[in-house]
């Protein structure tokens, strides 16, 4: 066993413990630390035989156990606890040492911490980690930000413990300061949209065809053998096929229909608004969770009128599952297109040079949105790094073209039967908005000029103009 550790992990709850075990299982000596000592003792007692661990019971002992330059991974609750841990360790470290925050920090906090620690000569690496506790143990998707120099030493370790797809590690240097946490945030936003679209597909198959959850599980299982092949589709079929042991009912029918959230979806939408990027699919997914959780509002609205949910029959019923598959795939392309546009916008705003081909490549394994689809996304952005939208790229353009009739018919059927499909509907509206020759925004500009003299631009002349709406002849003048 080495006398010093190549890396240390502080914060040994489920994520930190599994990350430390993953590192040790790959032959790295890992120093261990946790605020309360018991977690450290438990890890060594239960998993000490998995590799080389150096338990430490004080911050100084932990720092002393590390090779130089020291590499410390913080895996504690995001927010104030992360600041508290940084304040505890930073004074004990030396120039060139590296602090990694692998928790779910807001990227703005990461930018602030990085700038402060850079002043002290320390590297601060905000790192997105996706895959939950299983991923942390068996291979997550890892999204490190921070300096290029810090990646030189950390990269090989992280690539070693990350998931692998076709032999390629699901870890890459995303970009400076908060870039890693920003990309992780958008990953989670896309995850919300993906889950919402899948949930709507279930609701449609049940509401429009009258299928039982077990039948719908079979539909998802079939879809998982095609272009929708993904972790989320796979677990959906498992959840739908599950029967509640206590009641014998489908599990999905005994669960309260109020979706919770931890906040990264909300951050994605807030930042989308700040950057002016229309990430409507992600926003609708976050709002759909909020609506589901608005218990008293829903209770008060329960008797409101709507159409009867008469199941489809005949040819419409026969083709409906296929139509939903098309609509799901097309809407998924929109959700990813929007998410990648947000990463492009964040990159431009904060001066990060983010390689979208590399980002989609490391999402192919380890993380919650891992999917076969990401092979094609990665190929699209690798071929054309500045691609304005995924929707115009080769196979995706073709898929959306092929989906046209189905997508529109599914949204129309949902509307007719009163089945809420905010994800499908907003995806289609976004698509139609993008491809429109003229948008009614021209009228909005007229209204703005009318009530607020906000001016407008003309299609036939340069410059800004204002119409004197209050005068009888409504004369126009350059603004």
Ligand X SMILES: NC(=O)c1ccc[n+]([C@@H]2O[C@H](COP(=O)([O-])OP(=O)(O)OC[C@H]3O[C@@H](n4cnc5c(N)ncnc54)[C@H](OP(=O)(O)O)[C@@H]3O)[C@@H](O)[C@H]2O)c1
Active-site annotation, residues:
184, 191
Count of C-beta atoms within a 10 Å radius of residue 290: 14
Q: Nearest to residue 369, comparing CAs of 234, 223, 216, 271?
A: 234
* Secondary structure (H, E, C), 267-302: HHHHHHHHHCCCCHHHHHHHHHHHHHHCHHHHHHHC
User: Is 385 an interacting residue with respect to ligand X (CB under 6 A)?
Assistant: no
Structure tokens that stand for 253 in this block: 């029918």
23, 7 in Cβ contact below 8 A? yes
User: Is 69 an interacting residue with respect to ligand X (CB under 6 A)?
Assistant: no
Q: Which of 32, 75, 170, 380 contacts ligand X by CB under 6 A?
A: 75
Structure tokens that stand for 4 in this block: 């010093």
Give the number of residues in contact with ligand X, rule: CB under 6 A: 22
Q: Which of 4, 26, 68, 77 contacts ligand X by CB under 6 A?
A: 77
Q: Which residue's CB is nearer to ligand X, number 85 or number 279?
A: 85
User: Is 369 an interacting residue with respect to ligand X (CB under 6 A)?
Assistant: no
The nearest distance, CB 106 to ligand X, in angstroms, is 11
Strand partners, 130: 141
By CB under 6 A, what part of segment 205-234 binds ligand X? none
User: Is 185 an interacting residue with respect to ligand X (CB under 6 A)?
Assistant: no
The nearest distance, CB 53 to ligand X, in angstroms, is 16
The nearest distance, CB 11 to ligand X, in angstroms, is 4
User: Is 108 an interacting residue with respect to ligand X (CB under 6 A)?
Assistant: no
User: Is 76 an interacting residue with respect to ligand X (CB under 6 A)?
Assistant: yes
Q: Which residue's CB is nearer to ligand X, number 14 or number 439?
A: 14
b or e along 113-135 (b: 16 or more beta carbons within 10 Å of the residue's beta carbon)? Answer: bbeebeeeebbbbbbbbbbeeeb
Q: Using CB atoms, what's the residue nearest to ligand X?
A: 103
Q: What is the CA radius of gyration of the chain?
A: 26
Q: Which residue's CB is nearer to ligand X, number 84 or number 214?
A: 84
By CB under 6 A, what part of segment 2-31 binds ligand X? 11-16
User: Is 35 an interacting residue with respect to ligand X (CB under 6 A)?
Assistant: yes
User: Is 422 an interacting residue with respect to ligand X (CB under 6 A)?
Assistant: no
By CB under 6 A, what part of segment 130-149 binds ligand X? 132-133
User: Is the torsion defined by CA of 417, 289, 268, 14 positive or negative?
Assistant: negative
Count of C-beta atoms within a 10 Å radius of residue 318: 12
The nearest distance, CB 12 to ligand X, in angstroms, is 5
Q: Which stretch binds ligand X (CB under 6 A): 34-42, 330-338, 445-453, 465-473?
A: 34-42
User: Is 366 an interacting residue with respect to ligand X (CB under 6 A)?
Assistant: no
| Alpha-carbon dihedral angle through residues 282, 284, 290, 296, given to the nearest 10 degrees | -170
Structure tokens that stand for 91 in this block: 């004074």
Q: Which residue's CB is nearer to ligand X, number 44 or number 78?
A: 78
By CB under 6 A, what part of segment 289-348 binds ligand X? none
Distance of CA 417 to the CA centre of its chain: 31
Structure tokens that stand for 383 in this block: 């071929």
Q: Which stretch binds ligand X (CB under 6 A): 127-135, 220-228, 305-313, 419-427?
A: 127-135
Q: Exposed/middle/buried for 167, CB within 10 Å: 0-12, 13-18, 19+?
A: exposed
**Residues at the interface with ligand X (CB under 6 A):** 11-16, 34-36, 39, 75-78, 81, 84-85, 103-104, 129, 132-133
């Amino acid at each position: 066993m080495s006398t010093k550790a190549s890396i240390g992990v502080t914060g040994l709850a489920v994520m930190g413990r599994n990350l430390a075990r993953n590192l040790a299982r790959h032959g790295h000596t890992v120093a261990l630390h946790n605020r309360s000592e018991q977690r450290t003792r438990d890890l060594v007692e239960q998993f000490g035989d998995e590799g080389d661990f150096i338990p430490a019971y004080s911050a100084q002992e932990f720092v002393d156990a590390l090779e130089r330059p020291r590499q410390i991974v913080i895996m504690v609750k995001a927010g104030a606890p992360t600041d508290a841990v940084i304040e505890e360790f930073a004074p004990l470290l030396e120039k060139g040492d590296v602090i990694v925050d692998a928790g779910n920090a807001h990227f703005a906090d990461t930018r602030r911490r990085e700038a402060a620690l850079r002043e002290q000569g320390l590297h601060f690496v905000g790192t997105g980690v996706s895959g939950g506790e299983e991923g942390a143990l068996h291979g997550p998707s890892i999204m490190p930000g921070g300096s290029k120099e810090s990646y030189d030493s950390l990269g090989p370790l992280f690539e070693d413990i990350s998931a692998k797809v076709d032999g390629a590690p699901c870890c890459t240097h995303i970009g400076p300061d908060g870039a890693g946490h920003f990309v992780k945030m958008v990953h989670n936003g896309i995850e919300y949209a993906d889950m919402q679209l899948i949930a709507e597909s279930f609701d449609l198959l049940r509401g429009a065809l009258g299928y039982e959850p077990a039948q719908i599980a079979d539909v998802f299982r079939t879809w998982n053998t095609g272009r929708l092949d993904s972790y989320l589709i796979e677990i959906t079929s498992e959840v739908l096929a599950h029967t509640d042991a206590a009641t014998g009912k489908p599990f999905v029918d005994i669960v309260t229909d109020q979706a919770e959230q931890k906040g990264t979806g909300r951050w994605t939408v807030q930042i989308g608004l700040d950057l002016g990027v229309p990430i409507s699919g992600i926003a609708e997914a976050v709002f759909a969770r909020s609506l589901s959780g608005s218990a008293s509002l829903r209770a008060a609205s329960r008797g409101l009128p709507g159409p009867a949910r008469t199941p489809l029959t005949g040819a419409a019923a026969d083709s409906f599952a296929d139509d939903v598959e098309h609509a799901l795939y097309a809407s998924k392309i929109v959700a990813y297109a929007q998410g990648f546009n947000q990463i492009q916008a964040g990159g431009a705003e904060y001066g990060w040079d983010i390689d979208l081909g590399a980002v989609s490549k490391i999402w192919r394994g380890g993380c919650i949105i891992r999917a076969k689809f990401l092979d094609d996304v990665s190929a699209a952005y690798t071929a054309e790094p500045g691609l304005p939208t995924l929707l115009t790229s080769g196979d995706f353009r073709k898929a959306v073209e092929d989906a046209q009739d189905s997508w529109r018919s599914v949204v129309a059927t949902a509307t007719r039967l009163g089945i809420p499909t905010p994800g499908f509907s907003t995806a289609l509206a976004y698509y139609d908005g993008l491809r429109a020759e003229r948008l009614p925004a021209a009228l909005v500009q007229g209204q703005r000029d009318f009530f607020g003299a906000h001016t407008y631009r003309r299609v036939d002349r340069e410059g800004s103009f204002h119409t004197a709406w209050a005068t009888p002849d409504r004369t126009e003048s350059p603004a």
